Structure 1
């Protein structure tokens, strides 16, 4: 995964990342505040060798001090050292329990023993530390070897008595805060990364490119009624880009001039794409026929404010002709509504009458745009796409999922239909600005690409 992808994940999930970070920091702060302050006091004991009368005695004491200092460390936490401390201070505890509060260490290759005691009362732990150190000194002196005259060769001395601590050793607010920030950032971005991996919705053109080598012909932004002029212009420019890319893939030239617009599931914007694509094609001066082949839930006529009582279904059942039922919507654009909703849409769309209609329409119009039902619920789009120049698959950002696109492509391929490109619909304005940041500047210049183009009339149409 590249740095740009990590940055995109942060941009997509920054709210949950910040929320997780603040939650962890708050939890750490609360834990720190609720903790009881713990103090620590320590004392140092030095093990030394008494001088003997002979070199042998001196060597024996030195060797014992170096080799057995770790044994003294372990002895400190036993009853032989701690029981006298309990008795002296009148403590209501056991040596084993007291040993849990004591930490005894010795740096490597030294004769120092450090005794540390923790607790909530500074004065009490300072007194307890000194008592343990004193008891350790007594025990070492008792356990050390002696000379023939009974003099000990090894002696322990307290060289650094305990002092009453002025500040607690725990909790450490600053350390806890830093650790909380680090943990919160790690958990916050971790959950965002996990959500990104588990979220199979199509978000960007890169997601489509990972699924298929089929090109993305256009990225359509989300525009509402309160959209800025620059956003509206970017929206229109996206459809003009779609028109241009269609010409690049050879439609109307090497391919048949008819084109199916479909989607994976309902609600992805296929009808809106069909209508707007037909409009921009007509604005360029080409003659366009827009056919509403969604005989289950027709919407084209309603989008354009046209009468939909009669249309495609009536032409296919010989109750009307293409010439009679086609409605002019604007200059160079004619619309064939769905007409009467039949009980057998798939059979009608797969009939010889539909094939004949397509042949006539392709001869008489420069472009034939066909709005069809989604691919996955019904077979209508697959049937028509196999009889035309191909299909454009409309997907909706943050709604369409990878598996749906893959299943749709497989269905169309099985039906011998070719997908010529994708349209990614309803992309956020911020994402569009990242991809096409020049739109605002271009819009403000007042340039328009289609308004001055010459309109041409459609050739005479034959009756079907």
Structure 2
């Protein structure tokens, strides 16, 4: 059963390969069925006999001698002497080349019988070939088996009955050829699919990502059906908006006693969507009332500033070089997120990111903001992310399905673990909308999450219902932040506890009137880090 389930999975995943091979087999079969000649078959049976002047034991010996001669005589049909005689007897109507391709002779095992067959598009021509060939072979055997000085051959051939010709063309019918071609195409498609699956190391499922990394799943981001226009406002019920709020909630469970506030987002290879995810995480954290700064630490090819449409001439590189202060290059965005752009690409990005100046910048930002989101380069092509990892509270590794190789993901996780940094978990990007994956286009239940989310999606939520959904998510974050602060500083933050922050109204109407639900103004697109064709993730 496991083998069948595996085969079904392979076919489902590689159905295009199977379909292409099946269609090729079908096309070839249809083509062959249309051009193949319709041939008729004619046949005749000859028997070998030897002279037997004596009786008794000599009769048995004569039969054995006849059986031994059968294979020799059958092989003589293909000789030029036989076909030359046939061509001469037909008065030039039958050519030697035509005879070689149409006439066959076969000795029947353990008998003294030879069967001669001929195939041709004309049944009369096939019958003529068989008749003339049997006559020519009979005459040739008689000449060979006649001893010198004698007129009586020691062995001879004679026909058993008259030549018989089929009334209809022989061979497979057209529909049989088409069915056979389709079957062969499907078999070859399955073989090709299994071979491709065996040698393909592309990450395909969330379970594979968990098995490879051994880390928990912080979030699952759906792939967008199309690239939204810049400035697209995400509705509350859209899949990725809820997925990022779910991710925000999961960040609170990374370390209950010490909620990470400086988060590094990286990936194994380029184009896995780490910049897109870091932008969205910064926005949902700001949506919950946090003060957030996004640091574009991809000094080689910064993307966050381009996605926001902000200038990138001055930024982190200038701060690390000591030419400007952090406050001089911070840019405030309309989503309540401050941006520290990468600035001009330096000649020594790894040295700058590993300097004491970088540590001081992160420490200063941590004092000023509730959350510091660091967007770093991929971890395999360059060492920048590995240099930054020990300087942050936790690292989130982005893995895009259908792009990153399993070996690359494993190697990336091993390198991050060697830095000694805390691995918050993995964020799987590029999922297709599916009920089995938890979050779809609408609400669902994610079995890997501890948080409960609402079911029964609605196209239009009332303000009261929206408030209930948001308060649960916001309350979890605030509660764990308060616990972590009490444990470290032994004092209560100025932000009031959930029970004081939210007083339950007497009715749903009061709830709808008293809560101003925040919204996100950004583009949801789980695409690559580098924008293409001018489509950017805007907030």
Q: Which TM-score band (shorter chain)?
A: 0.7 to 0.9
1:73 and 1:106 in contact (8 A); partners too: yes
Between stretches 78-87 and 107-116, larger displacement belongs to 78-87
Matches within 5 A, 1:276-355: 276-281=280-285, 287=290, 289-294=292-297, 296=299, 335-338=337-340, 341=343, 349-352=353-356, 354-355=358-359
Which secondary structure does the structure 2 equivalent of 1:259 belong to? strand
Aligned to 2:239: 234
Aligned to 1:272: 276
Aligned to 1:182: 183
One of 375, 381, 391 as aligned partner of 2:385: 381
Aligned to 2:503: none
Shift of 1:93: 6.9
Rate the CA distance shift 1:419–1:160 in 2: closer, same or farther, 3 A.
farther
**Gapped regions of structure 2 (runs ≥ 5):** 445-454, 459-464, 483-492, 496-539
Matches within 5 A, 1:234-253: 234-250=239-255, 253=257
d(CA) in 1 for partners of 2:73, 2:305: 96
Between stretches 94-103 and 81-90, larger displacement belongs to 94-103
- For residues 335-371 of structure 1, the C-alpha deviation after alignment (integer angstroms, 9 at most, x for no partner) is 4420683776666654545435545665787654333
**Gapped regions of structure 1 (runs ≥ 5):** none
Aligned to 2:447: none
d(CA) in 2 for partners of 1:295, 1:139: 91
Aligned to 1:426: 430
Aligned to 1:371: 375
d(CA) in 1 for partners of 2:65, 2:17: 62
d(CA) in 1 for partners of 2:93, 2:314: 100
Shift of 1:42: 0.5
d(CA) in 2 for partners of 1:277, 1:294: 16
Shift of 1:11: 3.5
Aligned to 1:452: 471
Aligned to 1:166: 167
Aligned to 1:397: 401
1:43 and 1:158 in contact (8 A); partners too: yes
1:37 and 1:171 in contact (8 A); partners too: no
- For residues 400-431 of structure 1, the C-alpha deviation after alignment (integer angstroms, 9 at most, x for no partner) is 455654664465456554544222223333xx
Rate the CA distance shift 1:5–1:298 in 2: closer, same or farther, 3 A.
same
Rate the CA distance shift 1:65–1:437 in 2: closer, same or farther, 3 A.
farther
One of 263, 266, 271 as aligned partner of 1:262: 266
Measured on the aligned residues, the alpha-carbon RMSD in Å equals 4.8
2:42 and 2:130 in contact (8 A); partners too: yes
1:49 and 1:58 in contact (8 A); partners too: no
Shift of 1:129: 0.7
1:42 and 1:126 in contact (8 A); partners too: yes
- For residues 297-347 of structure 1, the C-alpha deviation after alignment (integer angstroms, 9 at most, x for no partner) is 66657878999999878987697688x9796977xxx64420683776666
Shift of 1:244: 4.6
Aligned to 1:58: 59
Between stretches 171-180 and 401-410, larger displacement belongs to 401-410
Give the TM-score normalised by structure 2: 0.66
Rate the CA distance shift 1:61–1:327 in 2: closer, same or farther, 3 A.
closer
Matches within 5 A, 1:124-143: 124-140=125-141
Shift of 1:43: 0.5
d(CA) in 1 for partners of 2:342, 2:83: 99
Give the TM-score normalised by structure 1: 0.74
- For residues 71-105 of structure 1, the C-alpha deviation after alignment (integer angstroms, 9 at most, x for no partner) is 33233444565554333322377878745532111
Aligned to 2:114: 113
d(CA) in 2 for partners of 1:267, 1:174: 49
Shift of 1:292: 2.0
Aligned to 1:44: 45
Which secondary structure does the structure 2 equivalent of 1:268 belong to? coil
Aligned length: 451
d(CA) in 2 for partners of 1:306, 1:138: 100
d(CA) in 2 for partners of 1:254, 1:347: 29
One of 411, 421, 436 as aligned partner of 2:438: 436
- For residues 21-72 of structure 1, the C-alpha deviation after alignment (integer angstroms, 9 at most, x for no partner) is 3233223322332333333211012345677563254344333223322233
Rate the CA distance shift 1:108–1:382 in 2: closer, same or farther, 3 A.
same
d(CA) in 1 for partners of 2:68, 2:324: 111
Rate the CA distance shift 1:151–1:232 in 2: closer, same or farther, 3 A.
same
Rate the CA distance shift 1:232–1:50 in 2: closer, same or farther, 3 A.
farther
Which secondary structure does the structure 1 equivalent of 2:163 belong to? coil
Aligned to 1:87: 88
